[in-house]
Chain A
Amino acid sequence: MTAADAALPATADAVIIGAGMVGAATAAALAATGRRVCVIDRSGPFGGTTGAGEGNILVSDHLPGPDLSLALRSLTLWREFAAEHGAQFEFEAKGGVVVAHDQDQLAELLDQAGRQRAAGVEVTGLDQAGLAEAEPDLAPGLAGGAFYPQDCQVQPMRAAVAHLALARRHGGLSVARAEATGLEPVTRNAPPRLVTDRGRIAAPVVVNAAGPWSGEVARRLGSDLPVRPRRGHILVTEPLPRVIGHKVYECDYVAAVGRDDDVLACSAVVESTASGTVLIGSSRDFGGALPGTGARAAPPDAGVLSAMARRAIALFPFLHRVRAIRAYTGYRPACRDHLPVIGPDPLVAGLYHASGHEGAGIGLAPATAELLAGIIDGTATAVDPEPFSPARFAVPPARTAGRHDR
């Protein structure tokens, strides 16, 4: 029996909307508490953002604050999981090298590195010689950089499969193809019932882990979530001998992530994969069309590919004659204030969100799942949940006795 024909159970202890990395990790975390979990996805599992990313687990691109705390906790969880299962999903602790083009950029990068170090990140500054030693094929003339040994990479779809397998081992996992269309609210006698195109499922816990579609799902379930799809492009080269040892990216990447405008932001990201191909990114814009929303799928933009290719060649000149064999787009779930949304919906009882991870969903998935499980059960959590609370977007209601704003 496959996911295509698995029937939707009538009840579950938790139903998770979205069978991507975050949904899979959440399924594992909730199944570990003894719950019967049902994961639904309206298209093939891992077919959304999880299937379109590079599979990075990074601390290097997180600035001190709740974001970095979540990333550090998640890294610990990834390492524990990979110690036993890492080979299944090509876990590689390759480390990251961030590159500065000139002295001004280098000064800013090293300053940022210092603050990250103070918050628990392992990082070493690299001068020109150090940079060349770390990555001999980088273009000469770069000012320097920073090395983050904790950055890792996985094959994201296989990593999601591994988490679903873990959930299955805890018992009581079902995965079904279904599309969430509404939520019948909790009543005195019954838990909420999620309405799908294949029937209803009653569950006290409904988790919105629908990635870039989370805003749409929230709307369908009677709530509101400021998560919107932020498009990215990736160019894939032909297989090459391994000449790039780390994930290498330009230091303006973090700024690109943090932009709020609709202008295209490109920042070179280059890394090898276990299969020998080199992945080239990155781009961010709010163009294109999120698949499955009725709009016609937009192919990758040649202008964006061109910009990424130029920046990649500027970092690694040997790439200029290397052939790209493939390009694709993915859509990151971008939250308005650049922090993930993890926790109970302020309006709809029984609904929880685990979304808004922008380009860091793979890395942040395990800690997100752990945090959400702790929130649901009311147990102590390794990371402070408050900064991620969905209530932070709630418009304060007109004064009503007994209501508390958060």
Chain B
Amino acid sequence: MTGDRVRFSFDGRPMDAPRGMTIGGALLAGGVRSWRLTRSGGRPRGVFCGIGACFDCLVDVGGDHAVRACLIPLRDGDEVRTCASPGRRE
């Protein structure tokens, strides 16, 4: 898709956002506040530090697992999915 909006999906739901946004920005702009479940408590997380330091905003997109949504630019056709962190604590 060309033009000034990018089409993507989040957990299968079609969305779109202005071209140039990060995945995190696009999700927030689309009213989504959390896209990750923590490993031990299954609790929701979204953006916390916004600058790539905290790794709270991890999201799955396409074949990439647990990438920082606040840093990664959104691309046309991105299939963004909730990152359910694997493994369990203790």
The minimal Cβ–Cβ distance linking B9 to chain A, given in whole angstroms, is 23
Summed over the interface, the residue pairs from A and B with CB atoms below 8 Å come to a total of 25
Within B32-54, which residues are at the interface with A (CB < 8 Å)?
39
Query: B89 at the A/B interface (Cβ < 8 Å)?
Result: yes
Bound-state Cα–Cα, A165 to B66, Å = 39
0/1 interface trace, chain A 239-255, chain B, CB 8 Å (1 if under): 11110000000000000
Please tell me the number of chain B residues within 8 Å of chain A, measured between CB atoms: 8
Give residues of chain A (187-230) contacting chain B, Cβ–Cβ below 8 Å. Answer: none
> Within B61-90, which residues are at the interface with A (CB < 8 Å)?
66, 85-90
- A276 CB to closest chain B CB, in angstroms? 2
A-side contacts of B39, CB under 8 Å: 239, 276
Q: Which of A240, A241, A275 contacts B89 (CB 8 A)?
A: A275
A238 at the interface (CB under 8 A from B): yes
Q: Among A90, A274, A276, which residue has its beta carbon within 8 angstroms of that of B86?
A: A276
Q: Which residues of A contact B86 (CB under 8 A)?
A: 239-241, 276
For the complex, is A105 an interface residue (Cβ under 8 Å from B)?
A: no
Residue among B39, B66, B86, B89 with the highest chain A CB neighbour number at 10 A:
B86
A238–B55 CA distance with the chains assembled, in angstroms: 11
- Cβ–Cβ < 8 Å partners of A240 in chain B: 86-87
Q: Report chain A residues within 8 Å CB of B87.
A: 239-242, 275-277
CA distance A239 to B66 in the complex (A): 10
How many whole Å from B42's CB to the nearest CB in chain A?
14
Cβ–Cβ < 8 Å partners of B88 in chain A: 274-276
A: number of interface residues (CB 8 Å): 10
Q: Name the residue on A nearest B64 (C-beta).
A: A321
Task: Tell me whether A275 and B85 are in contact (CB under 8 A).
Answer: no
Q: How far is the CB of A305 from chain B (nearest CB, A)?
A: 21
Give A88's nearest chain B residue, CB to CB.
B90
The docked-state distance in angstroms from the alpha carbon of A274 to that of B88 is 7
Q: How far is A238 from B83 in the complex, measured between Cα atoms in Å?
A: 14
Chain A 98-111 interface mask (CB, 8 Å, partner B; 1/0): 00000000000000
Q: Separation in Å of the A155 CB from the closest CB of chain B?
A: 9
Q: Which of A230-280 contact B (CB under 8 A)?
A: 238-242, 274-277
| Least CB separation from A276: chain B residue | B87
Q: With A239-B39, A239-B85 known to touch, is A275 a contact of B90 (CB < 8 Å)? A: yes
State how many angstroms separate the Cβ of B66 from the closest Cβ of chain A.
7
Question: Cα distance A241–B39 when bound, in Å?
Answer: 11
- A241 vs B89: C-alpha distance when bound (angstroms): 12
B51 to chain A, nearest CB (A): 18
CB nearest neighbor in A for B63: A321
Query: Which residues of chain B come closer than 8 Å to A241, judged between CB atoms?
Result: 86-87
Whole-angstrom distance between the Cβ of B23 and the nearest chain A Cβ:
18
Alpha-carbon gap, A139 to B48, bound state (A): 39
Chain B residues with CB under 8 A of A277: 87
A340 to chain B, nearest CB (A): 31
CA distance A274 to B86 in the complex (A): 11
A87 and chain B: residue at smallest CB distance: B90
Residue of B nearest to A243 (CB): B86
Chain B residues positioned under 8 Å from A90 (CB to CB): 90
21 A–B pairs (Cβ distance < 8 Å), ordered by A:
A90-B90, A238-B66, A239-B85, A239-B86, A239-B87, A240-B86, A240-B87, A241-B86, A242-B87, A274-B88, A274-B89, A274-B90, A275-B87, A275-B88, A275-B89, A276-B39, A276-B86, A276-B87, A276-B88, A276-B89, A277-B87
**Chain A residues proximal to chain B, CB less than 8 Å:** 90, 238-242, 274-277
The list of the 9 closest CB pairs from A to B, nearest first, reads A276-B87, A239-B87, A241-B86, A275-B89, A240-B86, A276-B86, A239-B39, A239-B86, A274-B90
Given A239-B86, A275-B89, list of 12 further CB < 8 A pairs? A239-B39, A239-B85, A239-B87, A240-B87, A241-B87, A274-B88, A274-B90, A275-B87, A276-B39, A276-B86, A276-B88, A276-B89
